[in-house]
Amino acid sequence: MQAPAEAALDGPRADTTVYGVIFAISFCHLLNDMMQSLLPAIYPGLKSEFSLDFGQIGLITLTWQITASILQPMVGLYADRRPTPLALPVGTLFSLAGLLVLSQAHAYPLLLAGAALLGVGSSVFHPESSRVARMAAGRRHGLAQSLFQVGGNAGQALGPLAAALVVVRWGQSSLAFFALLALLSAAILWNVGQWYRHHGLPRLARGGAKHGDAAPVSRRARRGIAVLLALIFSKYVYLASLTSYFTLFLIHRFGVSVESAQYHLFAFLAAVAVGTMLGGPLGDRIGRKRVIWFSILGTLPFTLLLPYASLFWTGPLTVAIGLILASAFPAIVVFAQELVPGKVGMISGLFYGFSFGMGGIGAAVLGELADHIGIEAVYGICAFLPLIGLLTAFLPDAAKD
């Protein structure tokens, strides 16, 4: 079975796009992020069962995402020097362990331990799988990043849906059922790892790249990376306000049921998935800086309206925000990879890790704010975050933009 799979996934030239590998890694991204997104999806249940306040919920998110944030750049840097194909299936097992702990947790410290294990799983998966997507991209780097990332966004969207259909009805212990998906992901990633070892590394060499070899990072590149990280800050702190607290906001303001709130969150995350899918190919076609300009600033009118909208208009507004805001991330990652060639793992780990970290810190800070000034006031403050997108004016021209 393994040999035919490898033969089907291999490509004859370094500039050929190997869609079989990209779709496989995207599907595993879906499974990984669906397991990850079950955590914020069950916050309403945890809040009532454990009598948690917004600050304690924010600390769970902080533990989960900071764990991934700190480890991802280090994993990426190590992989640039010593590529480790087997890290892909092994890393998935941490997510399995995290869900098992969360399914049986009966005390707040155990919730934090399960969240930390989920973070470790992401820290291993994202840098190496992003590297595989670039190996298999050929000349279509934006498309490959979009296909890879849309798997994760689809998984994030399916998490609340799965929580509404399964966890809300059968309780916290049903999380153990979803842990079985990690075994499926590990089996697929084992085969991807074999392609990585036997075909991906030679393709990278034929394409003229060597692992860990790169010119010193220039001042121009450092300025560009700093601006891109500031844009990630604005994007992911705002996303944290929705992914962590949107269901609680809907329940508090409009009195909807937990199940109905989960469906609203699913619609938002589905829009994020569609926006991610569109952003990469659009960047390949019209230039990544143009996509970044549109994505960051284009959300501003909708974020300003959201805190004052009725329940009827809240759905369309959040869909528009998710669709436009998400289109930036593939363009940002590829832009950064082109600014610092030869360090794909480090750049991928830095940006995925920073996005997780900003999401975690944002969730913790916003949770404390919500306890003091109310969740509706928090959304009024977050509405202005897209203005940070004006920093796009300071981005240099990437080599392939």
Q: What percent of the chain has pLDDT over 90?
A: 18
Q: Are 271 and 320 in contact (CB under 8 A)?
A: yes
Asked if residue 158 has pLDDT above 50, the reply is: yes
Q: Which domain holds residue 129?
A: 16-394
Longest CA–CA separation in the chain, Å: 60
Does a structural domain hold residue 255? yes
Per-residue pLDDT tens over the stretch 332-371: 888 888 888 777 777 877 887 787 778 778 887 888 898 8
Flag whether pLDDT at 316 surpasses 90. yes
Read off the pLDDT of residues 276-312 as tens digits, 9 standing for 90 and up.
Answer: 888 888 888 888 888 888 887 889 999 999 999 999 9
Closest CA to 346 of 55, 128, 152, 109: 128
pLDDT at 321: 94
Residues ≥6 apart with Cβ < 8 Å to 106? none
pLDDT at 133 (0 to 100)? 84
For residue range 65-123, list pLDDT tens digits in order.
Answer: 778 777 888 877 777 777 777 888 888 889 889 989 988 888 899 999 999 998 888 88
pLDDT grade for 10, boundaries at 50, 70 and 90: very low
Q: Which two tokens stand for residue 269?
A: 């995350």
Q: What are the pLDDT digits (tens) for 38-52? A: 887 778 778 888 888
Look over the chain and give the mean of its residue pLDDT values, rounded to a whole number: 82
Q: Give which of 385, 381, 328, 368 is closest to 351, Cα–Cα.
A: 328
In a domain, 150, yes or no: yes
Contact 99, 35 (CB under 8 A): yes
How confident is the model at residue 53, as a pLDDT? Answer: 85
199 located within any domain: yes
**pLDDT value at 8 more than 60:** no
Residue 262's CATH number: 1.20.1250.20
Check pLDDT > 90 for residue 23: yes
Per-residue confidence at 33, pLDDT binned at 50, 70, 90?
Answer: confident
214 pLDDT higher than 60:
no
For the cut 80, the answer to whether the pLDDT of residue 1 exceeds it is no
The region that residue 85 occupies, defined by phi over 0 for left and psi between -120 and 50 for alpha, beta otherwise, is alpha
Q: Which of 52-56, 163-167, 271-275 has the lowest mean pLDDT?
A: 163-167
pTM of this prediction?
0.69
Highest mean pLDDT among 23-27, 129-133, 213-217, 331-335: 23-27
User: Is 11 part of any domain?
Assistant: no
Is residue 5 scored above 70 in pLDDT? no
pLDDT of residue 24: 94
The answer, yes or no, to whether residue 324 has pLDDT greater than 90, is yes
What pLDDT band is residue 400 in, cutting at 50, 70 and 90? very low
pLDDT recorded at residue 229: 93
Spatial contact of 73 and 122, defined as CB atoms under 8 Å apart: no
**pLDDT, greater one: 29 or 364:** 29
Instruction: Please check whether residue 360 lies inside any domain of the structure.
Output: yes
Q: Which string of DSSP letters, residue by residue, matches 253-315? A: HH---HHHHHHHHHHHHHHHHHHHHHHHHHHHHH-HHHHHHHHHHHTHHHHHHGGG--HHHHH
Note the pLDDT of residue 4: 41
Residue 400 included in any domain: no
For residue 1, tell me if it sits in a domain: no
Domain count, the chain: 1
What is the pLDDT, as a whole number, of residue 288? 85
Is the confidence at residue 314, as pLDDT, over 90?
yes
